[in-house]
């Protein structure tokens, strides 16, 4: 993994993944995609890591695909994981997008592939691919209608217009809007709250919420219970209850 493309930093159970191509507005090329994929492999495999954050260097989250690389035939994808090594991937651990500046095209699709989004007030979001004769095929057309009202998704996809962080929060696309320059710190605060909780319970809760939108009313509790049964009988469940009774912080085992 090239440090020039992506930086990683692990502290207190949180892995921060930074797109590090500020001169290119953190546009994703093949090397960046592979580096992000490797960082996410680390997040998934390391039991000491509970939450991931993805952000961008230089005041921009990500401007999307590196078009200069694209016209030479380079595709910024990883087999099985899609654009940026992320958008077609299902992670067991939560991933937070910390957005400063632009999250456009593939950058927008990276953000909406995360579980939570924190954005600076000057953040701008959009899928302007149609303005370049392209389509938002890295998740914008299929994920966005599940995250905002379909007509709003249609408008963004067909016009290519940008929306502000305030508007994104208004339509429920992002979790919080913070002062410029503080998105990463706000994301770390959110990540710390998640990392303090039972890792098995967090993983299964994330799994249910992600899948439940496709479950019918008739089947939803049976399918939920199938996912959660090992949580209710886990060592962590006993530890959580014991720690509460003893007025101390729980010591999680993740099992």
DSSP string, 175-190: SEEE-TT-HHHHHHHH
What backbone phi and psi angles, to 5 degrees, belong to 113?
-85, -10
Banded pLDDT at 99 (limits 50, 70, 90): very high
- Residue 3: the pLDDT is 57
- If asked whether residues 28 and 109 sit together in one domain, one would say yes
- If asked whether residues 51 and 107 sit together in one domain, one would say yes
User: CATH number, domain at 53?
Assistant: 3.90.226.10
Residue 93 near residue 53 (C-beta atoms within 8 A): no
What's the domain range around 219?
A: 199-245
- If asked whether residues 215 and 93 sit together in one domain, one would say no
Residue 94 near residue 116 (C-beta atoms within 8 A): yes
Residue 1 pLDDT greater than 80, yes or no: no
Residue 40 pLDDT greater than 70, yes or no: yes
- If asked whether residues 175 and 205 sit together in one domain, one would say no
- If asked whether residues 203 and 191 sit together in one domain, one would say no
Helix (H) or strand (E) holding 223: helix 220-232
Instruction: Give tens-digit pLDDT for 147-200.
Output: 999 999 999 999 999 999 999 999 999 999 999 999 999 999 999 999 999 999
Domain boundary residue, one of 154, 176, 195: 195
Instruction: Give tens-digit pLDDT for 65-95.
Output: 988 877 788 889 999 999 999 999 999 999 9
Report the percentage of the chain scoring pLDDT > 70: 99
Confidence (pTM):
0.93
Q: Fill in the DSSP letter of residue 27.
A: -
- Residue 68: the pLDDT is 80
The Cα 237–Cα 254 span in angstroms is 10
- If asked whether residues 174 and 116 sit together in one domain, one would say yes
**Domain contains 251:** no
- If asked whether residues 106 and 57 sit together in one domain, one would say yes
- If asked whether residues 65 and 135 sit together in one domain, one would say yes
Residue 164's CB: how many other CB atoms inside 10 A?
Answer: 15
Q: Considering its fold, how many domains does the chain have in total?
A: 2
- If asked whether residues 187 and 79 sit together in one domain, one would say yes
- Residue 2: the pLDDT is 47
- If asked whether residues 46 and 136 sit together in one domain, one would say yes
Residue 44 near residue 93 (C-beta atoms within 8 A): yes
Provide the mean pLDDT of the chain: 94
**Any idea which residues carry the catalytic annotation?**
109, 129
């Amino acid at each position: 993994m090239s440090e020039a493309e992506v930086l990683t930093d692990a502290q207190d159970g949180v892995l921060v993944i930074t797109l590090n191509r500020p001169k290119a507005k953190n546009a994703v090329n093949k090397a960046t995609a592979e580096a992000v994929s490797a960082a996410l492999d680390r997040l998934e495999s390391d039991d000491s890591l509970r939450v991931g954050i993805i952000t961008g260097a230089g005041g921009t989250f990500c401007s999307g695909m590196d078009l200069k690389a694209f016209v030479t035939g380079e595709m910024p994808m990883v087999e099985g994981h899609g654009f940026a090594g992320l958008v077609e991937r299902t992670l067991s651990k939560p991933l937070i997008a910390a957005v400063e500046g632009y999250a456009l095209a593939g950058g927008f699709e990276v953000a909406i592939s995360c579980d939570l989004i924190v954005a600076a007030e000057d953040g701008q979001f959009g899928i302007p691919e149609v303005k370049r004769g392209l389509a938002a095929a890295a998740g914008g057309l299929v994920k966005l209608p599940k995250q905002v009202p379909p007509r709003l998704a249609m408008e963004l996809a067909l016009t290519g217009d940008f929306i502000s962080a305030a508007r994104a929060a208004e339509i429920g696309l992002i979790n919080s809007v913070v002062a410029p320059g503080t998105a990463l710190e706000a994301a770390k605060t959110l990540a710390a709250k998640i990392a303090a909780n039972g890792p098995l319970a967090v993983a299964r809760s994330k799994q249910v919420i992600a899948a439940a939108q496709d479950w019918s009313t008739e089947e939803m509790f049976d399918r939920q219970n199938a996912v959660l049964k090992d949580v209710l009988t886990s060592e962590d469940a006993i530890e959580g209850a014991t720690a509460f009774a003893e007025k101390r912080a729980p010591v999680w085992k993740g099992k």
